[in-house]
Amino acid sequence: MTEKNTSYTILLFFLACFLISIFLLGWLLWPFLSIIVLGAVVSGIFSPLYRLIIRNGYVRPSIASFLVCCVIFCILFIPIVFFVGILSKEAYDLYLVAKDAMISPQISALMEGSKVLEHTNNVLANFNFQITVEELNTYISEIARFVGLFLYNQARSIASNMLAFFINFFMMLLVIYYLLVDGRRLVSFIIDLSPLPNTQDQILLKKFEDMAGAILIGNGVGGLIQGLAGGIVFSIFGLPSPFLWGVIMGLLAFLPIIGIGMVFIPAAIYLFLKGRVAAGIFFIVFYVVLSGGVEYLFKPKLVGQRVKMHTLLVFLAIIGGLKLFGILGIIYGPLVITAFLTLTDIYRSSYQTMVNPLEMPIKKTSVSGSPESKSIET
């Protein structure tokens, strides 16, 4: 009995020390959490390229990982630095235009030259509500000012903290380098350390890998296509700040349900009000074809059916992630939902009967005559 008590005390002391060490480790690595998460996600995306390079055994893993990091640098770092200056200028111009209400004459002329506002007010009169040109101008100016100021602050933050951006990016490349070289050993270590069965650990890791691929490859490439195509169309039809609106559409493309329609539909209405009916119709048709083609043809072909998540959940995950974590919430939000749904499936398949011991399986006969299991309370 004494030996059992002693062993139990030793176990409790060890668990306390172990939990304290985990807390201190998390505290120590917390400032680098975003770098580690991004490094893990990007390394998972580029791991097929790494395996392709070392397949024949002619290239050492360290050299192959260095080459992949060079590719990542060219794909990610150079475009970001190149586009920040252009984005900052166009966003600041939009902010100044909205701040000084310089779009007021344009909006007034459009509204006074069309019957849209008059017809709208005739409908709203039934609800004792009216909209004036000045109020409409104020609403549009506030929205434009908010969008322009937000994007300008983001671009200015990157530009003014370029040294910190350099350091964080190269730290991420360092994480990617070692994850490519030693990633398999790290995964094996985590699986061995986890008290869950190996199959469940592998399911969790696989779900995270699939979701990261869906976010960065599916949504990332889809957003790039939609933002680039949208910016080109804005430039062709002579709309202001095509680069800025292309970036906004690229970010909005991550959101299901609404997506780039938040830009294309108001732009089409603007063209209708200016009397450019053909251009407005083209914008609506182009939006439907572009958004539908990317969402229902391109993304399923690129990502496949590995990640199955309800559209509303994806929308809420991204919105909530953006609110809690900033721009990285685009990645964090869906990963949190993925972890919850995967653990829910594991719980239902493996642990629900342990939590509800009073439920016992019995046999029943289905319509086809084959036995089926059913749980009842005894």
Residues 6 or more apart in contact with residue 60 via CB below 8 angstroms: 54
Nearest Cα to Cα of residue 273 among 123, 112, 143: 112
Q: C-alpha distances in angstroms, 17 versus 20, 95, 153?
A: 5, 54, 44
pLDDT tens sequence across 276-331: 888 888 988 998 888 888 877 777 676 655 566 677 787 888 888 877 877 777 77
pLDDT score at 125: 64
pLDDT score at 368: 40
Helix (H, G, I), strand (E, B) or coil at 363: strand
Q: What is the DSSP letter of 348?
A: I
- Our measurement of the distance from residue 162's CA atom to the centroid of its chain's CA atoms, rounded to an integer in Å, reads 24
pLDDT score at 31: 86
Q: What crossing angle do the helices spanning 133-160 and 104-112 adopt, rounded to 10°?
A: 150
30 CB-contact burial (10 Å; exposed 0-12 / middle 13-18 / buried 19+):
exposed
Residues found in the chain: 378
Q: Which amino acid is at 267?
A: A
d(CA 22, CA 13): 14
Q: What is the DSSP letter of 127?
A: G
Sign of torsion over alpha carbons 107, 112, 115, 118: positive
Read off the pLDDT band of 375 (50, 70, 90): very low
pLDDT tens sequence across 4-60: 677 778 888 888 998 999 899 989 988 888 888 888 888 888 888 898 888 877 788
Mean pLDDT computed over every residue of the chain: 75
pLDDT score at 366: 42
Average pLDDT over residues 85-90: 64
Three-class DSSP labels, 289-347? HHHHHHHHHHHHHHHCCCCCCCHHHHHHHHHHHHHHHHHHHHHHHHHHHHHHHHHHHHH
260 CB-contact burial (10 Å; exposed 0-12 / middle 13-18 / buried 19+):
buried
- Domain residue ranges in the chain: 34-183, 193-349
pLDDT score at 378: 30
- The answer to whether the beta carbons of residues 313 and 333 sit under 8 Å apart is no
- The answer to whether the beta carbons of residues 181 and 62 sit under 8 Å apart is yes
d(CA 268, CA 351): 54
d(CA 153, CA 319): 20
Average pLDDT over residues 155-184: 80
Report the alpha-carbon angle 204-32-45, nearest 5: 45
Whole-angstrom distance between the N-terminal and C-terminal Cα of the chain? 37
pLDDT score at 120: 63
pLDDT score at 376: 34
Average pLDDT over residues 208-228: 78
pLDDT score at 70: 92
Residue 210 φ/ψ, nearest 5 degrees: -65, -40
Model confidence at 243: pLDDT above 70: yes
Read off the pLDDT band of 358 (50, 70, 90): low
Model confidence at 359: pLDDT above 60: no
- Encode 54-91: b = buried (16+ Cβ within 10 Å), e = exposed: beeeeeeeeebbeebbeebeeeebeeeeeebeebbebb
Long-range interactions of 50-55: CB distance < 8 A, separation 24+? 50/180
